[in-house]
Amino acid sequence: MSKPMLHFEVVNSETQSLKLHIVLENSTESQLHDFVLCFDMPRFLDKSKVVNGVVKSQVGSHIELAPLEGMSVAAGESWTVTIESNTSGLFNLSERPNGPYLKVGKEFIEVAVGSHSMPQPEPLELNAQPMPAPKAGVIPQPNQVVAKQGVFIWQNSVSINVANEVSHNAIAWLTQQFSDTQFEQTDTNPIVSFIEVQQLEEEAYQLTISEETVKIEASSASGFLYGAVTLAQLLVTARNVVDCVVITDAPQYSYRGQFLDCARSFHNIDTVKSVIDQMVWLKLNTFHWHLTDDEAWRMEIDAYPALTEIGAWRGEGEIQPPQFGSGSNRYGGFFTKAQIAEVVAYAKAREITVIPEVDIPGHARALIMALPHLLIEKEDTSDYVSIQQYQDNVLNPGLPATYEVLETILDEVCEMFPSEVIHLGGDEVPAHVWEKSPACIQKAKELEFEDVRQLEGHLISHLERYLADKGRRIAVWEEASHGNKITNNATVCAWSNSAEGQKAAKAGYPVIMCPAQATYLDMAWNKDINETGVLWAGTIDLKTAYQFEPSNIESSQQVIGTQALVWTEFVKDKQTLEFLLYPRLFAVAEVAWTSTQNKDWPHFLPRVSAQLSYLESKGINYRRG
Ligand code: ACM
């Protein structure tokens, strides 16, 4: 039997408004009646503007539409309902109405994703640029390269010095990377030698490639690893015949990150390990792991099994509804403590620190829904809508249980994650939260706050002190630094624009400059409606990513680095994740490592071309063109 089909047509897409016809085609042989059409679309619908239907509910991106009373759809006929949103009108296929199904009583009927009609924006600037011929080289560009006479040829069999504690990770990595090469470990005239030189700074290295030998000097395990990575990149891009050279190198920024959202869509441990593998290749040293959000809680916590039993899943019959096209079936997953330990160890062996993020007090719906008896104040009638269309996703800082639950969770987070820094989120707490919460009003009064809103900083600052007692520091998104409640030991991730980062730097915070306009790689490359990626912060092509400068003269002391981010509302699989990362991650890595005066766009492109066949050899997807 044919399935019903969901088509859509964009009627009007302007800066601040979006109007769509949603068309349900009854391609079955029977009449459809008494049904509700469910699908996901990340826009807040204006219920008063729906034509020929009714919005029954909207939770996040999950929308339920019903036909008008008594209406049915005969076999072969269609039902068209018109919906409008006055939030952003920027739209492309990544945000299409998705995951459709019908609810008829207790039954679910599958609905196929049908056709669409969307205007291409005019004029369409596709930024298409033919890539130049490949040229052997390194990404990120090393800071000093002195060419020498002659070539070094990598043979099938290579001797390497015996590893010690400092060189162990580098040698292990290099030998894994060249699994077709026979390695012999010997301290008698090895071809490749790792030599400790105390004067070199943490992360710095010197790589000397002569005709007969390769020497990597460093004072730290990370320096040795980065020397090995530079050698590996030269060998791969020059096909094992490398010009002799002396490279003296150290990073511009100490924080060079990759952020991955594993909450919105679940990306499993294999994908996470693959991301970590790719980070080493680009000398990125911090994995910012977004493990909790409105749509899911993905980390096992012994004290509260409900967090993963309930909070890690969504679908019909689950506490959390479907989101982002996940459909009526149960969808989700989480990381066990053993898996988290595996990721942390895997990263450590690659000189990468894992910073977990527990996003509070907003973006906390999964946490709240898993522990409603502890975290919901029934008398709180505050009326708010979050930017992602939730009306019940903010923790209540007036309830003692909120503090107890978070402290208990953080106890376990600290056991799992040895990183000095724990990220507490703090972004996008909507206007009007807590205003009608008796507990918050009382708490604000006790603390002599003028406004319940100050409880946001109070909660984060309480947890900052709690973690400080355990020897940890916090990182937060920029909003959590507003109101001056947290100390200057907290690192601020500036995401909404660079000016926010400049402001935080001026206020004395260490800043990770990661503005959405340059580092959110879930943004589309261009405005083509078929391009993968979202548009709310604009478009990011390779050059936009490359030209970003994290700091300026005023902020250079405070900006500790930058990172590439991928939020995963529409990023369901590894293929799509990689498509968004590559080749733009090459640009972010060079921005993070290479000093500004050594960055050079025309010099960068042939090195990118040379990396593409490496990506292919590793089975890594990337955007072509
Ligand atoms: C963010 O993008 N809300 C940090």
Q: How far is ligand 1, taken at its centre, from the CA of residue 320, in Å?
A: 22
Query: What is the distance between the alpha carbons of residues 311 and 304, in angstroms, rounded to a whole number?
Result: 10
427 alpha carbon – ligand 1 mean position (Å): 6
Q: Is the confidence at residue 302, as pLDDT, over 90?
A: yes
CA distances from 527 to 92, 388, 530, 534, 575 (A): 8, 22, 8, 9, 21
Spatial CA neighbour of 619 closest among 274, 134, 135:
274
Instruction: Let me know: does 330 contact 313? Beta carbons within 8 Å.
Output: yes
Residue 428: CB within 6 Å of ligand 1?
yes
User: Whose CA is closest to 205, among 228, 183, 187?
Assistant: 228
Average pLDDT over residues 577-596: 98
Which two tokens mark 516?
A: 């959405």
- Cα(614) to ligand 1 centroid in Å equals 32
Residue 575 CA to residue 475 CA, distance in Å, equals 30
Task: Identify the helix (H) or strand (E) that includes residue 196.
Answer: strand 192-196
CA 335 to chain centre: 17
Q: Tell me the CA–centroid distance for residue 495 and ligand 1, in Å.
A: 6
Provide the percentage of residues in the chain whose pLDDT is more than 90: 94
pLDDT tens-digit map of 357-416: 999 999 999 999 999 999 999 999 999 999 999 999 999 999 999 999 999 999 999 999
Is the CB of residue 427 below 6 angstroms from any atom belonging to ligand 1? Answer: yes
Q: Out of 496, 513, 519, 523, give the residue to mutate to test ligand 1, the one with the largest number of ligand atoms within 8 Å of its CB.
A: 496
Neighbours of 250 (CB within 10 A): 19
Buried/exposed code over 264-278 (b: 16+ C-beta within 10 A; e: otherwise): bbbbebebbbbbbbb
Give the number of other CB atoms < 10 A from CB of residue 621. 17
Instruction: Report whether pLDDT(451) > 90.
Output: yes
* Residue 550 DSSP code: S
Is residue 380 within 8 A of residue 399, CB to CB? The reply is: no
How do residues 219-266 score in pLDDT, each as one tens digit? 999 999 999 999 999 999 999 999 999 999 999 999 999 999 999 999
Q: Decide if 595 contacts 288 (C-beta within 8 A).
A: no
User: What pLDDT is recorded for position 14?
Assistant: 79
Is residue 604 lining ligand 1, measured as CB closer than 6 Å?
no
**Residue type present at position 265:** S
Cα 447 to Cα 24, 399, 459, distances in angstroms: 54, 14, 12
Provide φ and ψ at 509, rounded to 5°: -85, 145
Question: Comparing C-alpha atoms, which of 503, 521, 389, 284 is closest to residue 60?
Answer: 389
Diameter of the chain by CA atoms?
A: 88
**C-alpha to C-alpha distance for 277 and 203, rounded to whole angstroms:** 18
Burial of 155 (0-12, 13-18, 19+ CB in 10 A): exposed
Q: Which residues contact 331 (CB under 8 A, 6 or more apart)?
A: 266, 313, 314, 315, 322
pLDDT digits (tens, 9 = 90+) for 492-519: 999 999 999 999 999 999 999 999 999 9
Radius of gyration of the chain (CA): 26
Give residue-wise pLDDT tens across range 429-446.
Answer: 999 999 999 999 999 999
Q: How confident is the model at residue 448 (pLDDT cuts 50, 70, 90)?
A: very high
Smallest Cα–Cα separation from 493: which of 586, 355, 387?
355
Give residue 89's pLDDT band: very low, low, confident or very high (50, 70, 90).
confident
Q: What is the DSSP letter of 135?
A: -
Spatial contact of 216 and 207, defined as CB atoms under 8 Å apart = yes
Instruction: Give CA 138 to chain center in angstroms.
Output: 25
Contact, 528 vs 126, CB < 8 A? yes
Q: By CB neighbour count within 10 A (0-12 exposed, 13-18 middle, 19+ buried), where does 482 fall?
A: middle
Helix (H) or strand (E) holding 515: none
Strand 112-117, strand 5-14: pairing: parallel
Q: What is the whole-number distance in angstroms between the Cα of residue 303 and the centre of ligand 1?
A: 28
Are residues 383 and 432 in contact, defined by beta-carbon separation less than 8 angstroms? yes
Q: Which amino acid is at 298?
A: R
Q: Is 517 in the pocket of ligand 1 (CB under 6 A)?
A: no
Distance separating alpha carbons of residues 572 and 324, to the nearest angstrom = 9
Distance 123 CA to ligand 1 centre (A): 29
136-194: pLDDT as tens digits:
999 999 999 999 999 999 999 999 999 999 999 999 999 999 999 999 999 999 999 99
Q: Which residue type occupies 360?
A: I
How far from 48 is each of 255, 286, 432, 620, CA to CA, in Å?
A: 48, 46, 22, 46
Residue nearest to atom 2 of ligand 1 (CA): 495
Instruction: Give 128's pLDDT tier (boundaries 50, 70, 90).
Output: low
- Separation of CA 88 and ligand 1 centre (Å): 16
Q: CB of 571 within 8 A of CB of 524?
A: no
Task: Report whether 402 contacts 396 (CB < 8 A).
Answer: yes
Q: Which of 495, 514, 536 should be mutated for ligand 1, with most atoms under 8 A from CB?
A: 495
